[in-house]
């Protein structure tokens, strides 16, 4: 075995180890999202768990690298690979119990530790083992470490882009994780053969075959007598699912949270919060002719506005959402959809509209940077004279929430005046949607509502909406500082736990 050949093999191994670490970190956060969401707390938990267990692996590897024996390198790859390969069997039951028992921040950390701690410790140990081999074969310790970490980091860069642009959008997470596990087992088997550890290689072959077993389960199409799964796909923004529910309804879910729904017989919105936004827009701007909708979802809001004769443009981040909205929810071709980030689009475009709707959600989280003073000011810049901004949010019936208070505050700060309405007839403290409207000289019209609502008397719709003038209740978010995710964490944790309890862990796992 030449020194040059040994060096190349070692550096190639370091590259693959770095790639695997980033696959685990990024795909792991996506695996947590249907149960805990994709908030800053969840990403922080995943990143800190990754760093913690890699650090443990570095220390353990450094100690073991001083001992003799060629068993170490194949063993850590096999252990990491086998654990990742059984990820599809562990994920659902573990995450469902964690979200119920620990909440979002600690629950996501515990789940990440159990699901990914062992493989990360094993992968962390790889670098010291490789440095020791490279130092003994070719270079001094400093040069060996520098070469290993350089190539390892390049592998991580590729792993990050590969996970975000290929693995997550194009295959189920269970396949991506299991495939990563199989790759690691194969690397371990390669090293076992290279080091002439024939006994270990003989064991690894049947283990690698058994690892394909977790790949067999596919998403359950039936959810009992009340629902049927039509679409389930991983996308840039989360796990997207479309289900048909009892009594002729169809729902779109992102990471387990309902984003909108339609009555299949009439094509009308199944959910009241869509009606509220449309209704409040007409109530405060009955002569509106153009609208910008930030966040597409099912497209039911855009569809309802279009039916009232309003020219609608939608800005939607997820490239899959337009096709789903048109194919499954009847979004008309007259609605223009732009596949871009909403804030980026607002920053660079100069188009103007009579109405701007903020209805962007990833699961239960609305992007904080759209609700800052600067983000709302950019929306104001895109309004025609007399224009209105309409925001869909979630709060607690009758008591409100800190997140809603911050939205009210920023609207008053930017526009000087705002109104908030919601399902105030619900029991106190229950999670409900609220609709906020902001603009200059907010005077409601008594004009009859022109939209279509499902099984609701149009003449009574205004009576169901308890409107209040938004006060300035203190702090609001800016681009420099926003604590919206933090103050809403408990509310959103309750929301997500309710979803897990209603649908069960297996549905969200697929």
Q: Report the percentage of the chain scoring pLDDT > 90.
A: 33
Using one digit for the tens of pLDDT, what is the confidence trace for 319-341? 899 999 999 999 999 999 999 98
More confident residue, 430 or 150: 150
Using one digit for the tens of pLDDT, what is the confidence trace for 420-476? 886 555 677 777 888 999 999 999 888 877 777 765 544 444 444 567 777 666 678
Task: Tell which phi-psi region holds residue 330, choosing left (phi > 0), alpha (psi between -120 and 50) or beta.
Answer: left
Other C-beta atoms within 10 Å of 194: how many? Answer: 15
Average pLDDT over residues 146-161: 87
DSSP calls for 431-490: EEEEEEEE-SS-----PPP-S--SSS-GGGHHHH---EE----S----SS---HHHHTHH
CA 353, chain centre distance (Å): 29
- 221 to each of 19, 224, 496, how far by Cα in Å? 33, 9, 22
Using one digit for the tens of pLDDT, what is the confidence trace for 298-320? 999 999 999 999 999 999 989 89
- Please name the residue that has the structure tokens 């509502």: 449
Using one digit for the tens of pLDDT, what is the confidence trace for 362-397? 767 778 888 999 999 999 999 999 999 999 988 887
Position 381 scores a pLDDT of: 96
DSSP calls for 246-282: TTTEEEEEETTEEEEEEETTT--BSSHHHHHHHHHHH
**Which tokens belong to 472?**
């300035």
According to DSSP, residue 392 is labeled: E
Of 47-51, 80-84, 446-450, the one with minimum mean pLDDT is 446-450
**Which tokens belong to 66?**
């001083």
Give yes or no for a contact between 160 and 26, defined as CB atoms under 8 angstroms apart: yes
Asked whether residue 219 carries a pLDDT value surpassing 50, the answer given is: no
Q: How confident is the model at residue 85 (pLDDT cuts 50, 70, 90)?
A: confident
């Amino acid at each position: 075995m030449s020194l040059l050949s040994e060096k190349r093999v070692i550096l190639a191994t370091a590259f693959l180890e770095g790639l695997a670490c980033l696959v685990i970190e990024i795909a792991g956060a996506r695996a947590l999202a249907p149960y805990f969401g994709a908030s800053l707390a969840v990403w922080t938990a995943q990143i800190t768990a990754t760093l913690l267990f890699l650090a443990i692996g570095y220390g353990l590897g450094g100690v073991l690298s001083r001992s003799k024996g060629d068993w170490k390198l194949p063993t850590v790859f096999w252990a990491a690979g086998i654990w990742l390969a059984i990820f599809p069997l562990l994920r659902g039951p573990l995450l469902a119990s964690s979200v119920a028992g620990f909440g979002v921040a600690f629950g996501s950390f515990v789940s990440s530790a159990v699901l990914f701690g062992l493989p990360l410790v094993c992968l962390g140990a790889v670098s010291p083992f490789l440095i020791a081999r490279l130092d003994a074969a070719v270079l001094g310790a400093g040069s060996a470490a520098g070469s290993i970490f350089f190539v390892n980091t390049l592998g991580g860069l590729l792993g990050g882009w590969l996970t975000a642009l290929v693995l997550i959008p194009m295959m189920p997470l269970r396949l991506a994780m299991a495939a990563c596990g199989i790759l690691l087992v194969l690397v371990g088997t390669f090293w076992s053969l290279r080091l002439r550890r024939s006994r270990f290689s003989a064991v690894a072959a049947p283990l690698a075959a058994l690892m394909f077993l977790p790949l067999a389960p596919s998403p359950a199409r039936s959810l009992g007598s009340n629902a049927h799964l039509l679409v389930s796909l991983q996308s840039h923004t989360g796990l997207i699912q479309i289900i048909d529910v009892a009594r002729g309804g169809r729902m779109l879910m992102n990471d387990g949270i309902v984003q909108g729904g339609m009555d299949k017989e009439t094509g009308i919105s199944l959910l009241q919060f869509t009606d509220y936004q449309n209704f409040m827009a007409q109530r405060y701007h009955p002569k509106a002719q153009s609208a910008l909708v930030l966040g597409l979802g099912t497209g039911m809001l855009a569809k309802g506005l279009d039916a009232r004769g309003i020219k609608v443009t939608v800005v939607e981040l997820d490239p899959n959402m337009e096709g789903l909205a048109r194919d499954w929810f009847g979004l008309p071709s007259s609605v223009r959809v732009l596949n871009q980030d909403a804030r980026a689009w607002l920053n660079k475009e100069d188009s103007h509209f009579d109405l701007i709707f903020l209805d962007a959600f990833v699961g239960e989280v609305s992007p904080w940077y759209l609700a800052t003073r600067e983000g709302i000011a950019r929306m104001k810049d895109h309004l025609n004279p007399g224009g209105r901004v309409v925001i869909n949010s979630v709060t607690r019936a009758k008591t409100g929430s800190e997140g809603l208070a911050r939205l009210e505050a920023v609207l008053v700060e930017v526009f000087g005046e705002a109104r908030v309405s919601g399902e105030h007839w619900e029991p106190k403290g229950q999670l409900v949607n609220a609709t906020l409207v902001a603009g200059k000289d907010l005077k409601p019209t008594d004009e009859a509502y022109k939209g279509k609502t499902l099984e609701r008397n149009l003449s009574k719709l205004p009576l169901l909406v308890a409107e209040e003038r938004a006060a300035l209740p203190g702090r609001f978010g800016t681009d420099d500082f926003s604590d919206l995710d933090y103050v809403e964490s408990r509310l959103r944790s309750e929301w997500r736990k309710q979803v897990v309890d209603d649908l069960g862990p297996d549905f969200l796992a697929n």
